[in-house]
Structure 1
Amino acid sequence: MRVWKWIGLAGILAGVATGAAVARDERERRHYEPSEVRDRLHARHDEAVARQATEGDASD
C-alpha cells in the first residue's frame, strides 16, 4: 500500500511541474506584440518551405 502513496505523490508532483511550465510559456508568449508573432510565424513557414524544397531535391 505504501508504494501506491509514492506513485500518487509522484503523479501530483508531475502535474504541478507541468502546470508551472505551461504557465511560464504562456507568460513568455503574451509578451509578444501581434506583429512580432506574425513575423515569427512567417519566418518559421519560410524555413519549413525551404527545408522541404531541399529535402525534395535530395530525394531526386
Structure 2
Amino acid sequence: MRWWKVLGLAGVAGVAATGVVIARAERRRQAYTPDEIRARLRARLEEPSGEPAEPEPKIVGPADRAP
C-alpha cells in the first residue's frame, strides 16, 4: 500500500472513533430525567466556589503612598 492510502485509512478510523465517542456521550446525556438535571444544577449552585465573585477594591489614600 502506498503511504497516502494508509493515511486515508487512519483518517477514516479517526472519524469513526470520534463518532463513537460523541454518540456515547449523547446517550449518557439523554439518560437523565428533567428532575435529575434540576437536582444536579441546584447542587452545583449550592457548592462553594474556590474564588470570590468579585475582588474587593483596594482603596489607596495619602497614608499608603511612599514619600
TM-score by length of 2: 0.62
- Give the paired residue count: 56
State the secondary structure of the residue aligned to 1:50.
Answer: coil
Q: Which has the higher helix share?
A: 1
Pairing of 1:11-26 with structure 2 (within 5 A): 11-26=11-26
How far apart are residue 40 of structure 1 and its match? 2.1
Q: Which residue of 1 aligns with 2:38?
A: 38
State the TM-score, normalizing by the size of structure 1: 0.68
**What RMSD in Å do the two structures reach over aligned CA positions?**
2.8
- How far is 1:45 from its partner? 4.5
| Stretches of 4+ aligned residues off by more than 4 angstroms | none
Per the TM alignment, residue 34 of structure 1 is displaced from its structure 2 partner at its CA by: 1.2
